Amino acid sequence: MIFHLPDLGEGLTEAEIVQWLVAEGDVVAVDQSIAEVETAKSMVEVPSPYAGKVVKLHGKAGSTLAVGEPLITVEPVSVAAEAYREEEKAGSGSVLVGYGTSTAASSGRHRTPRRPVQSATHVRPAQVVSPLVRNLARSNGVDLTRVEPTGRGGVIVRADVERAMAGGTAPASGENRVPLNGFRKAATVALSRSRAEIPEATVWVDVDATRLWELRESVPDGPGLLAYIARFTVAALRDFPVLNARFDAERQEIVELGQINLGIAVQGDRGLTVPAVIGAESMNTTRLGQEIKRLTAAAREGRVSARELSAGTFTLNNYGSLGVDGSAAIINYPQVAILGFGRILDRPWVVDGGLCVRKITQMSFVFDHRVCDGGTAAGFMRRVADAIENPASAIARL
């Protein structure tokens, strides 16, 4: 039986084989991971829909396959029977599978280890499975034996080479061409389409986040600042559903969406991704904080699911974590708006006629002018800003 590379979602048409998790001759079970592949959005493990012996691997690590091309050929075989044959090869003589022969004594092959263990004194050879990564290193004078790998199984990936280049291993002068990786290619398409099709407008306001900061400090083990901001954003979207929508240009309709899937912009070594907290409207602040933390970690590791990457209906961007104060962000097409926050700074502020020091952040809002006007955008922003400035009363109303 031939298993073809499946549709990995989001209209992706190809994937690069990062590494095989099985070898020819191995026996695999249904849903066992057989390969790790990299798409334009993330690295995912592909499970086998068949059980049996691996007869052929269609493609080497580093090669690119189109969706629908053969990935692996599996010959149906009884797992129990195969295990029995392995027992016989080991010289057990036992008639009951699993008795009389230790795993260490068996000479039969099983799936290759997914995480090789190396001693601290072992000299690690450079492992690069992608020819693109190897070419990138060669063209920039990067010694792969000196590059620290972060890929699964000690594999050097593109981000490792780029990090080495940034550290000074690249030539000091001369032209440097860096090919776009899958993440950057996908982002290029989406961002270009957003700017080409959406008549966007940007508004911003300075927000006094002192009380929210104090609330967060009063409960050290509680939700983080972004979790509270996410909760206030979701509440505001319920009041302004036109911003949790799509614009159907063909039918000239605004399509308001019932579910709020809050996209969280995450900047990682492999590029910018926007995974979504699915069903955010049903979550409290604590649950939102847990989901944001999980998604952020998964996105930086390239392990977010295709659904989480494509389900977003509105984006929240904490660019303050990058050390900047403001941004006129690009809307994450086909969404219609994006809300961003800069870093929180101590600034002089007038409160009740007196000058004092407060925690101030700049909030920027970019929206599709086809779905609403400035009045709606301002109303949405003030709803979020008022909640940040008076979090206790805002939470009481949620």
Question: Which structure tokens are listed for 313?
Answer: 């209906």
Residue 188 vs residues 40, 271, 327, 333: alpha-carbon distances, Å: 11, 11, 18, 11
The residues, any chain, with a CB within 8 Å of residue 159's CB and separated by 6 or more, are 150, 269, 270
Calpha distance 44→25 (Å, rounded): 23
Rg of the chain over all Cα atoms, to the nearest angstrom: 26
Calpha distance 380→337 (Å, rounded): 11
Question: Which structure tokens are listed for 87?
Answer: 């027992």
Which H or E element spans position 104?
none
Helix intervals (H) in 165-220: 182-197, 210-218
Q: What is the DSSP string of 214-239?
A: HHHHH-TTS--HHHHHHHHHHHHHHH
Calpha distance 329→365 (Å, rounded): 8
Of 4, 110, 122, 369, the active-site residue reads 369
Active site residue 369: yes
Contact 27, 53 (CB under 8 A): yes
Which residue, chain included where needed, has tokens 């550290």? Answer: 167
Calpha distance 206→87 (Å, rounded): 71
Report the 3 state secondary structure along 231-276. HHHHHHHHHCHHHCEEEECCCCEEEECCCCCEEECEEECCEEECCE
Calpha distance 259→237 (Å, rounded): 10
Which of 215, 208, 210, 211 minimizes the C-alpha distance to 362? 208
Question: Which structure tokens are listed for 395?
Answer: 């939470």
Give the CA dihedral 328, 332, 337, 339, nearest 10 degrees. Answer: -50
With both helix axes pointing from N to C terminus, report the angle between 374-389 and 225-239 in degrees, rounded to the nearest 10: 140
Catalytic residues: 369
